[in-house]
């Protein structure tokens, strides 16, 4: 059965790592019918908007997206395209797993998942500046919006994810000691939802700053972490550092009807076109997409081949200690799955 999916190759290194990912998916025989669309700076330059209607309509048809990293135009008044897509399609849960692949790291045997509420908090973009005297930007104001419905669906997703994937514990990460309204609501809802999973999933909670410290000192005490939008954005990068960096960090954005899969890292325009970018994060995101679309066997073959190639170290890119190019790494993984 053919899987219909929207493909957005992205900006900067996006075309290179997307090409590498597609070659690996072709090698494993992934039955995907791609509808190629544009977004980000490339779309702004070609069609005058960073999020064209054609891209939105494609996603409405396929409900499944593989997306390369996008740049947000600076000083143009446009907001993040990725955030806009999450909100447009109500992709309320951001799943960011980190797992030890690269040998010789400071932390061994890391296997953690962060579930991030994906549509609310400070990232709703309710911001304004206030003029005082001759200074038009004397005061800047940003409003965080957190709803009971938003908290509950993200937290419930985290507990359901834990049950479905054999995870033992969910940690609710918050700042309810200071942000008593917005973070307090998240913690209260988390404790309410946790009661429904008693006997199946253990639960605890931790303040965000303590969580960051504990992740560095003893990350093995965690299993699944669920938190609010901005906290999750920050913690997931910290967690990627435990396993070798953002080049190995995939992400999924899940809604009731639509799912978008992407690398956690940015577009890295400083190395674009040089064939030195690590495609692993996007390849691993494609594995998550295959699993979501009912192709777990192909996902496992790709993931196993990628992990073997990384551990072997012959064709890895320079960010993980190798000298291989993006294309050479993709070829090495492709040869193992074909």
CATH number of the domain within which 167 lies:
3.40.718.10
Catalytic residue among 11, 35, 205, 233: 233
Catalytic residue among 35, 67, 161, 175: 175
Pick the last residue of a domain from 217, 242, 267: 242
Question: How far is C-alpha 208 from the geometric centre of its chain's CA atoms?
Answer: 19
Active site annotation includes 123: yes
Catalytic residue among 11, 123, 205, 331: 123
Q: Are residues 217 and 291 in the same domain?
A: no
Residue 329 in tokens: 């790494």
Span 161-181, average pLDDT: 97
Q: What is the pLDDT of residue 76?
A: 54
Q: What is the C-alpha to C-alpha distance for residues 172 and 165, in angstroms, rounded to an integer? A: 18
The count of domains in the chain is 2
Q: What is the C-alpha to C-alpha distance for residues 37 and 34, in angstroms, rounded to an integer? A: 9
Active site annotation includes 209: yes
Q: What is the pLDDT of residue 337?
A: 94
Q: What is the pLDDT of residue 322?
A: 92
What is the tens place of the pLDDT at every residue in 275-288?
999 999 999 999 99
What is the tens place of the pLDDT at every residue in 227-278?
999 999 999 999 999 999 999 999 999 999 999 999 999 999 999 999 999 9
106: in domain: no
Active site annotation includes 218: no
Average pLDDT over the chain reads 95
Q: Are residues 257 and 179 in the same domain?
A: no
Range of the domain at 205: 111-242
Pick the last residue of a domain from 182, 211, 242: 242
What is the tens place of the pLDDT at every residue in 181-205?
999 999 999 999 999 999 999 999 9
What is the tens place of the pLDDT at every residue in 57-108?
999 999 999 999 998 766 555 678 888 999 999 999 999 999 999 988 889 9
Active site annotation includes 169: no
3: in domain: yes
Catalytic residue among 26, 33, 135, 209: 209
Pick the last residue of a domain from 242, 264, 296: 242
Span 131-160, average pLDDT: 96
Q: What is the C-alpha to C-alpha distance for residues 198 and 175, in angstroms, rounded to an integer? A: 24
Q: Are residues 61 and 88 in the same domain?
A: yes
pTM of the predicted structure, to 2 decimals: 0.94
12: in domain: yes
* Helix, strand, or coil (residue 38): coil
């Amino acid at each position: 059965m053919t899987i219909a999916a929207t493909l957005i190759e992205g900006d900067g290194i996006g075309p290179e790592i997307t090409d590498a990912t597609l070659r690996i998916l072709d090698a494993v025989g992934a039955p995907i019918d791609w509808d190629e669309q544009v977004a980000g700076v490339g779309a702004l330059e070609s069609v005058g908007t960073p999020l064209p209607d054609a891209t939105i309509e494609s996603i409405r048809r396929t409900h499944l997206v593989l997306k390369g990293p996008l740049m947000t135009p600076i000083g143009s008044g446009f907001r993040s395209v990725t955030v806009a897509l999450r909100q447009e399609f109500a992709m309320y849960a951001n799943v960011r797993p980190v797992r030890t692949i690269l040998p010789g790291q400071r932390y061994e045997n890391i296997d953690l998942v962060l579930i991030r509420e994906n549509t609310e908090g400070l990232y709703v973009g309710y911001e304004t500046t206030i003029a005082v005297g001759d200074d038009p930007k004397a005061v800047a104001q940003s409003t965080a919006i957190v709803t009971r419905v938003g908290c509950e669906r993200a937290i419930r997703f985290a507990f359901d994810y834990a049950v479905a994937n054999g995870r033992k514990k969910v940690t609710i990460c918050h700042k309810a000691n200071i942000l008593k309204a917005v973070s307090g609501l998240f913690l209260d809802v988390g404790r309410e939802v946790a009661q429904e999973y008693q006997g199946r999933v253990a639960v605890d909670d931790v303040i965000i700053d303590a969580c960051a410290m504990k992740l560095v000192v003893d990350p093995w005490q965690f299993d699944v972490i669920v938190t609010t939008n901005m906290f999750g954005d920050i913690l997931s990068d910290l967690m990627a550092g435990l396993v070798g960096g953002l080049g190995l960090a995939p992400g999924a954005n899940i809604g009731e009807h639509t799912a978008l899969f992407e690398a956690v890292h940015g577009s890295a325009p400083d190395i674009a076109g040089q064939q030195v970018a690590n495609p692993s994060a996007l390849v691993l995101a494609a594995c998550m997409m295959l699993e979501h679309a009912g192709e777990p066997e192909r996902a496992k073959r790709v993931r196993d081949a990628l992990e073997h190639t990384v551990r072997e170290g012959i064709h890895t890119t320079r960010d993980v200690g190798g000298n291989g190019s993006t294309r050479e790494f993709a070829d090495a993984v492709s040869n193992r799955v074909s």
